[in-house]
Structure 1
Amino acid sequence: MNLNLKAEEKNTYDAIVVGTGISGGWAAKELTEKGLKTLVLERGPMVTHPNYPTATKDPWQVDYRGRPTQEDLKKQEKQSRTGYTTRQDIKHWFVNDLENPYTEVKRFDWMRGYHVGGRSIMWGRQSYRWSDLDFEANAKDGIAVDWPVRYKDIAPWYEYVEKYAGISGTTEGLSQLPDSVFLPPMELNCVELDLKKSMKDKMARDLIIGRVAHATAPVPQSPLRGTCQFRNLCSRGCPYGGYFSSVSSTIPAAEKTGNMTLRPNSIVHGLIYDEQKGKATG
């Protein structure tokens, strides 16, 4: 057996990504697809798609049919304010605020997820473009700092992300809510359709279906995902990849390139910067 005893005793990477939430997962995908050897660090444990512990359980298979207990509601005062993060069927995704406390000056609901995928597993998936009403508001109202960009600058990037994430919705032509690149919409029911008509006729207001990151049809740019099964159990994690998350989409895409090293259970508390090399060394 021949050993190269003169080899470097450490790995070097072109890029390091800290965190695997929506931003971290996307960064990992982009960097690895461009050929960069990328180390991805996550403070929490590994979660692999489609292994979500309660995703396919029936209500009677979960304690208290998934509902939060009175004990949890009283004990976890901050988390119980949301009404859902202490539920038996999903509380494993959320950081326990008693074990990881934080100080509030005024009320701040900080719902964290310490695991691969981060809050991309738990997000509400509502996905809307800003318009120039948003980008120009500070300048027109004379408050805060004007945005250095306008809608036309961001629009191509909205489209780039939407084609990969998969946003379902309807084309409406609303100036205050620019249209996205849409997958087929989820349908309004008969009551909602009647309300939509009444609002338009009597108030000249538009009622539209929510624009959500659900694959209501196959997403060509993200072939590793399945489509939404309309089970209404999204908060447990979707084993079909029906909604966009790092675990169902960007992390597998980055892994497929062979350029990603994913290291869970790795807390980053600082960067060691080499000024001469102009790079992080640890």
Structure 2
Amino acid sequence: MPGSQTNTQRETTPLRRDNSRIRPDRAPTNPPDATRPAFAAPGQPGPHPGHGGAHPAPPPGGGPPPGYPPTNQQPPVGGPGPGGQRGKITPGGWVLRGLALFAVSLISGLLWLVVRPGGDEEAAPPPEPQTQHDFQPVHREEAFQGCQQVSTDRIQEFFGDSECEHLTRALYTTTLPDGERALTSVVTVLMPDEATARSLDELTTRDGTGNIRDLVDDGRAGTEEMPPLGDRAYGSERQGRLVVIGDSAYFDQDTPRKDPTLLQVTQDALNLGQKQDDQ
């Protein structure tokens, strides 16, 4: 009953505030720095709980320390990058990476072109000569005895001082628009340089200087039934170091000297010279 007991003074102990029972939605308002957990530096012991206002270390597994609200943010994989960025690449970084890859690809391609095999591959065949007439080859000969042995008069003397490097002689047949058949001789002479080739071409175009004998004039086998040429539709031209000489004649009629039709045939046949020499 009140007043039935004597008023005696009791010894009391100071109350301690238990923050563990404070609900998360009513957590005390503290400065931002006071809510951050304190971690000890490597090799040094951490602060003891309850001293200096430090909070307990977070439990294993990366969860929040006791008494802190849970969070849905997970720590990114890997350590923090420069400036606090964790693995983030700027647009400029992607551009630099792309340029580096392009440079590596370009250098690799150039090295492959330098060291690739097949450097001794055969050269591409020369293009087909463009002619207005359909020339059919009937005889071809490559001379190994030199040009002087198949030449006459002043041309023979010329080869005595400047021998050719290569000689070919060939015969072709063609049918003209009026049905007449013509025989054409093509002789190619490869000289050591363009200067001697020019001198030979000038000498062959003069009258009375001789000539390089064609296969019919030389009496080669298989030419017995072919008409003699006789320089009646003669033509020549120089192509660098190569001199090409041509002549034409009719099969079934006499060949007038400098016949306009045959002169056109001979001039057209000179286009066969380069391919004939290459073969």
* TM-score bin, normalised by smaller chain: under 0.3
| Structure of greater Rg | 2
* Structure with the bigger percentage of strand: 2
TM, length-normalised to structure 2? 0.16
